[in-house]
């Protein structure tokens, strides 16, 4: 589900009304970026570009946001939602995360 504020959530839509959409078993992808590194000597420098790291986050399972992992979204804030194919990369990541629990 893609929201108007740019956030994207993955999960199972359990209820849709004219005002809201309820999702369960909700995940998001968090992007972090390592800083560029510069190494070498006075005559030669090598710069390693920043590295993007994508982390799958199971909503409601961290210490500051403990919830029942159900999310209710105002339907007006939803740009679109779509059914993902079983072989989509994010679906594979979610399935692997569930197996590791």
How far apart CA 63 and CA 43 sit, in angstroms, is 48
- Is 27:8 a contact under the CB 8 Å cutoff? no
Tell me the C-alpha to C-alpha distance, in Å, between residue 87 and each of 12, 13, 40, 80.
Answer: 16, 19, 43, 21
Average pLDDT, the chain: 87
Q: Looking at the predicted structure, is the pLDDT value of residue 15 above 90?
A: yes
Encode pLDDT of 51-79 as tens digits.
Answer: 888 888 888 766 556 567 789 999 999 99
Residue 91 has what pLDDT? 93
Q: How many domains does the chain have?
A: 1
Worst-scoring range by mean pLDDT, 17-21, 44-48, 63-67? 63-67
List, as one string, the DSSP characters of 33-76: EEPPEEEE-SS-EEEEPPEEEEEEEETT-STT----SEEEEEGG
* Domain boundaries, position 46: 2-99
Q: What H or E segment, with its residue span, contains residue 80?
A: strand 78-80
Q: For the chain, give the percent of residues with pLDDT over 70.
A: 91
């Amino acid at each position: 589900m893609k929201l108007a504020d740019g956030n994207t959530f993955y999960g199972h839509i359990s209820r849709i009304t004219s005002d809201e959409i309820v999702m369960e078993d909700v995940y998001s992808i968090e992007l972090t970026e390592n800083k560029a590194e510069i190494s070498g000597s006075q005559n030669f420098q090598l710069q390693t570009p920043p590295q993007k790291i994508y982390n799958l986050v199971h909503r409601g399972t961290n210490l500051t946001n403990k919830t029942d992992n159900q999310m209710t979204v105002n339907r007006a804030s939803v740009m679109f939602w779509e059914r993902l194919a079983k072989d989509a990369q994010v679906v594979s990541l979610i399935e692997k995360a569930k197996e590791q629990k």
